[in-house]
Homo-oligomer: A and B are copies of this chain.
Amino acid sequence: MKATANNKTLDDFGEAGIIQLIQGNVSQKLPPYVKKGIGDDCAVLAEAGWDKTLLVTTDTMIEGIHFTDQTLSPEALGWKALAVNISDIAAMGGTPRTAFLSIGIKPETEVSFLESFMAGFNTLAEKTGIALAGGDTVESPTSAIITITLLGDCLPEHVVYRSGARVGDDLWVTGPLGDAAAGLFLLQNKQAPPPSGYESLVRAHQEPMPPLDVGKALGESGLAHAMIDISDGIAKDLGHICEQSGTGALLQATSIPMSDKLQRLAAEVEKSPLDWALHGGEDYELLFTASSADEEKIVTLTSKISGTPVAKIGTIIHEDGIWLETEKGKERLGSGGYVHFSS
């Protein structure tokens, strides 16, 4: 895509259009050490003379767009800003190592905000063995702005790309889906008194814990053919796998893992739990494909990793598109995930 109409806005263009514009503008050919540039969860760099590959990811969170003080406490923000990057490293099968933190904050921000932010950041960094090695602090005119760049590594033969799905592969997912979206719903629709017993949903939104060990085990075992993290909703993220693998996918509605809490809340507030699970986003679970012959191996491997259930939710198919099979039949899913720059 080449933009010619100069009066077009980025809003018309959408995030995919913007990424294509940026990519298309990279006129120089990528050097051979860049095994993967734009278009996967991480960039993959093979430095000459090093037996490992470097994984690099960067994510920006802006107040008013990605969070508000109603949805994330400063401590939860510190945790989550790091977690979304860890999730990208997990989705390549890698190990996160070194973080770089850029913060833009208003001068009138209280020091306690930054202290709480760092407390949340450090709790997760220590849990996952990540060292904070640099960054930048700048003044921001209006919103808090957090950009984290996270470096990780992986043996080259263990890196899992989005592009490796094969027709006939089983489709797997970690964790229950939709909890984060339901938690966000609770935070944005505060009732008095707030419904009790839903702390796990709120926590899923505020302090996601990406299944790093599963990602790594899948990479090391060679069992996963393709992998991505679920940040924008499974419908959209599965679309990325299919697009890059040249396949389609068929999901079984009854197999989508959903927590009891999610289903109870959905009934209470008259929402569709499946909509939250398919389109909600921000689950930071892993979606991967594997040969159907390896089903037992997947179950054995992941069952050794405590606290991370996996579920087989569908199949990679030849036909284009993401399809959902329900008791009513087969329907084609729109990419109803979170779309940046959608009007």
- Quick check: B37 and A132 within 8 Å, CB to CB? yes
The reply on A119 being an interface residue by CB < 8 A is: yes
The reply on A64 being an interface residue by CB < 8 A is: yes
Residues of B within 8 Å of A65, CB to CB, are 138-141
- Quick check: A136 and B102 within 8 Å, CB to CB? no
Interface pick from A49-57, A162-170, A295-303:
A49-57
Interface pick from A6-14, A181-189, A200-208, A268-276:
A6-14
Chain A interface residue count: which class?
A: 35 or more
Residues of B within 8 Å of A138, CB to CB, are 60-62, 65-66, 340
In whole angstroms, how far apart are the Cα atoms of A131 and B33 in the complex?
Answer: 10
Known contacts A9-B109, A65-B141, A145-B104; A131 and B60 CB within 8 A of each other:
no
- Quick check: B122 and A25 within 8 Å, CB to CB? yes
- Quick check: B119 and A43 within 8 Å, CB to CB? no
SS class, residues of chain A in contact with chain B = mixed
- Quick check: B107 and A25 within 8 Å, CB to CB? no
Q: Which residue of B lies closest to A59 (CB)?
A: B136
Name the contact of A58 in the complex, choosing from B5, B9, B25, B134 (C-beta under 8 A). Answer: B134
Known contacts A58-B102, A102-B147; A133 and B43 CB within 8 A of each other:
yes
- Quick check: B114 and A56 within 8 Å, CB to CB? no
- Quick check: B111 and A341 within 8 Å, CB to CB? no
- Quick check: A139 and B62 within 8 Å, CB to CB? yes
Residues of B within 8 Å of A341, CB to CB, are 107, 137, 139
In whole angstroms, how far apart are the Cα atoms of A128 and B263 in the complex?
Answer: 55
The reply on A69 being an interface residue by CB < 8 A is: no
Q: Which residue of B lies closest to A27 (CB)?
A: B122
Residues 1-60 (chain A) with a chain B CB within 8 angstroms: 3, 5-13, 15, 18-19, 21-22, 25-28, 30-31, 33-34, 36-38, 42-43, 45, 47, 49-52, 54, 56-60
The reply on A118 being an interface residue by CB < 8 A is: yes
Shortest CB–CB separation between residue A120 and chain B, in angstroms? 10
In whole angstroms, how far apart are the Cα atoms of A139 and B100 in the complex?
Answer: 21
Name the contact of A45 in the complex, choosing from B3, B37, B115, B133 (C-beta under 8 A). Answer: B133
The reply on A101 being an interface residue by CB < 8 A is: yes
Q: Which residue of B lies closest to A98 (CB)?
A: B45
Residues of B within 8 Å of A121, CB to CB, are 25
Residues of B within 8 Å of A5, CB to CB, are 111
In whole angstroms, how far apart are the Cα atoms of A111 and B27 in the complex?
Answer: 18
> Which A-B residue pairs are the 10 nearest by beta carbons?
A11-B107, A25-B118, A50-B50, A43-B134, A43-B133, A149-B149, A147-B147, A6-B112, A3-B111, A37-B133
A-B contact pairs, 25 of them (CB 8 A): A6-B110, A8-B110, A9-B107, A10-B106, A21-B111, A22-B137, A25-B119, A25-B122, A28-B131, A34-B98, A34-B131, A36-B133, A37-B134, A47-B50, A47-B54, A49-B50, A54-B54, A56-B100, A60-B138, A62-B141, A65-B139, A65-B140, A104-B145, A107-B343, A145-B145
